[in-house]
Chain A
Amino acid sequence: MKSGSNLEKVLAAGHFSVTAECGPPRGADPDIVRKKAALVKGNVDACNVTDNQTSVVRMSSLAGCMLIKEQGIEPLIQMVVRDRNRIALQSDLLGASALGVRNLLCLSGDHQKFGDDPQAKNVFDIDSMQLIHLAKTMRDEGIFPSGDKLEGAPKFFIGCAVNPFADPFEIRVPRFKMKADAGADFVQTQCIYNMEKFKKYLELAKRENLHERVKILAGVTPLKSAGMAKFMRRMVAGIDIPDEVVDRIAAEPKEKQAAKGIEMCIEQIQELKEMEGIAGVHVMAIEWEEKLEEIIGGAGLLPRPLVQ
């Protein structure tokens, strides 16, 4: 075991794993996190805590991780390279590991332009690819990138994100391979709506044997309404929602669209479960955590396995 995290164990035992995510609040109130945690608990093998997503200032990811850990959920810390240089990143990796966080997701981070503080100075000292390498070096070699020995190596199950739908398509798999080479143990994909394109991507990844080297968790996000689908398609870079998906939910009367969205999400998870090379799902029910149990249970993935 590289990290001994629950997520790593569940995947190593060959179970189809489930992760979800929890966005920390825009404030210092810990009860908001605890309330979300109660909705997540029991439904996942680990829960991501986002790191100032879309550059909107929120409670720190590490604090969020500790709050959900107190509630009995295994945390997965997200770390973006937008806001911290390599000194701060190393320091936070050590701190997170010391506090018992065992799962890590290495990300670039959305450009600050999208957040509260578009005039902020961005950092991008190293990129997400190099953060993977940094975490792996510290974990496996017990040294800082400077070469100095660590007083205790951090233990992380190291993850990365891939977006099979961003452009240009042809470098998406080579870039995934670079992340595997840099040291990623698992990957969570951008939310998938275009299953055809995703299958094409997966085939190419499998040809490179990436599914054997890296555990692939397919990202899904239930649609609340046809309006949400149209909004995401228009506003979020790198989200690909085909017409037939929008049409299917739009065909329902407004009050039944949410239920339809959940039904479609469950169907999708069931399809992903049967696909060779997919090791789990990452369910991003954005501000809709109360539906996690219905979705994950509906897909036949409850209760979550207990692995020693």
Chain B
Amino acid sequence: MLPCTGRIDESLLLKAFENGADGVMVIGCLEGDCHYVSGNIRARARVKRVYGILDTIRIGPDRIRMFNLSAGEGSKFAEYTNEFVEQIRKLGPSPINVVRAKQGSAVTREEAT
């Protein structure tokens, strides 16, 4: 359980990819509306750094994205999610999963957990 996107750091996001995620959505509160003052702003900066890392190791920066929503915006949440899932579908499985599939071990790697 994370109380705030401000608790997310880069390694947590990278772990998601190690655990087999093809894409990661980070959804924080609306900017200016953080219960912890600036947690979502910090999260945005961290997502941006991970974006850079994924780009350098050629996993593709488009597999991670940050969204801002309030708790009352259920339909928007669905809309964003559909849009992002569609984007990831177009990109296909992450290079990690491609390799794992070839080796017949698409399961989570032990040391990444």
Chains A, B in direct contact (C-beta < 8 Å): no
